[in-house]
Amino acid sequence: MKILMMSVRDDEKEAITEWEKRNNIEVKTVDWELRLDKVEELVGYDGIVIQQRSKVEKAVYPALKAIGIKQITLRTAGYDVVDIDLARENNLVITNVPAYSPRSVAELALAHTMRLIRKLEIFDERMARQDFRWAGLQATEIHSLTVGIIGAGRIGGTTAKIFDALGAKVIAYDLVERDELKSIVDYMSKEEVLRNADVICLHVDLNQTTVDLMGAKEFELMKPTAYLINECRGPVVETDALIAALEEKKIAGAALDTLTGEENFFNFDLQNKDLPSTQLKKLRAMDNVILTPHVGFFTNIAVQNMVDISLNDVVLILNGKTSEHQVS
């Protein structure tokens, strides 16, 4: 069996080599995405793994079928780059990695929360200009706070457990209330969570009910001392409403690992270039806003799991078995 893994970053290579050794299967790695002009380079491989920003072109599906490929395995949770109908028509099994490490994103939510409540962004900025004063920047201790989780699924549930372990009161709003969280989480309405929480962590999946879940009406309900943490998906927050809430001091600050339009700036080196987003410029100029370029997933364990789970799925499918991660 020979597997081709595309869009491989340097940080993934060690995990891939380890998997090859454990399974005695050859995995060739390349840095390019799955595109029509690359299909001829796939000849001779049995299985493929992708991870890419651009959609798989329509003509790629029959071209893969023609060279005997039976699956497209994504090593990401999202699979919107793949057309499931076209995959089915061409007998291609699609799998994803739905949960590579909820802990990785939950720990970023914790890091962002601690950074905001200790006002480290403001201290960093003061230190940089040799202003060593601290008056007016008193912090709060996490066990004295109420953390509100909106979307207590795999990642939100893990975040709830971490904050509970640190002694914070944890409240949550979700369409589904999970029995296994009820001993540590008080479920309540979205409005009650917004009114009562000192820190709001967003962990919903992106669907029709979660686009613009946080807008002007919601920011109005939050405490002026409360912080918003968004580690889930950009469109869940109306960015202009967030900027207005920050400017009008309706909330105390925000940490964002994801932002609408991020495909135009996150993961690019834009040093000394004009930023392609006015919203991003405004957020960057605020000293109570933390931005990270969608790196919640980017930890040792998560990268290892993305590699291992995707490659194990290729082997399962090529051996005629069914993967629990099949989305087609």
- Residues annotated catalytic, as ranges: 233, 262, 294
Among all chains, which residue has been given the structure tokens 């099994």?
93
- Out of 231, 238, 262, 308, the residue judged to bind ligand NAD by CB under 6 A: 231
Question: Cα Rg for the chain, rounded, in angstroms?
Answer: 22
Contact flag: residue 229 with ligand NAD (CB under 6 A): no
Count of residues engaged in binding ligand NAD, rule: CB under 6 A: 29
Instruction: Say if strands 185-187 and 289-291 run parallel, antiparallel, or are unpaired.
Output: unpaired
E strand segments, the chain: 2-5, 26-29, 47-50, 71-74, 93-95, 146-150, 169-173, 185-187, 199-202, 227-230, 253-256, 289-291
Contact flag: residue 148 with ligand NAD (CB under 6 A): no
- Out of 54, 91, 144, 209, the residue judged to bind ligand NAD by CB under 6 A: 209
Residues forming a β-bridge with 146: 169
- Out of 75, 103, 112, 154, the residue judged to bind ligand NAD by CB under 6 A: 154
Residue 309 CB: number of other CB atoms within 10 A?
19
Q: How far apart are CA 138 and CA 143, in angstroms?
A: 15
Kindly provide the b/e burial profile for residues 31-68, where b requires at least 16 CB atoms within 10 angstroms of the residue's own CB: eeebeeeebeebeebbbbbbbbeeebeeebbebbeeee
Contact flag: residue 151 with ligand NAD (CB under 6 A): yes
Cβ-count burial of 183 within 10 angstroms (0-12 exposed, 13-18 middle, 19+ buried)?
exposed
Nearer to ligand NAD, 90 or 305 (CB): 305
Residues 69-88 that bind ligand NAD (CB under 6 A): 77
Residue 188 CB: number of other CB atoms within 10 A?
16
Nearer to ligand NAD, 64 or 171 (CB): 171
Cβ-count burial of 130 within 10 angstroms (0-12 exposed, 13-18 middle, 19+ buried)?
exposed
Instruction: Say if strands 71-74 and 47-50 run parallel, antiparallel, or are unpaired.
Output: parallel
The residue whose Cβ lies closest to ligand NAD is 153
Nearer to ligand NAD, 181 or 315 (CB): 181
Q: How far apart are CA 293 and CA 161, in angstroms?
A: 25
Shortest CB 320 distance to ligand NAD, Å: 29
Task: Label residue 141 left, alpha or beta by phi (over 0 means left) and psi (-120 to 50 means alpha).
Answer: beta
- Out of 6, 69, 297, 314, the residue judged to bind ligand NAD by CB under 6 A: 297
- Out of 148, 156, 234, 253, the residue judged to bind ligand NAD by CB under 6 A: 156
Nearer to ligand NAD, 45 or 297 (CB): 297
- Out of 43, 66, 139, 175, the residue judged to bind ligand NAD by CB under 6 A: 175
- Out of 15, 25, 99, 211, the residue judged to bind ligand NAD by CB under 6 A: 99
Residues 251-290 that bind ligand NAD (CB under 6 A): 257-258
Contact flag: residue 107 with ligand NAD (CB under 6 A): no
- Out of 176, 269, 273, 320, the residue judged to bind ligand NAD by CB under 6 A: 176
Listed ranges 27-35, 55-63, 229-237, 270-278: which one lies at the site for ligand NAD (CB under 6 A):
229-237
Chain contacts with ligand NAD (rule: CB under 6 A): 77, 99, 105, 150-156, 173-176, 203-207, 209-210, 231-233, 257-258, 294, 296-297
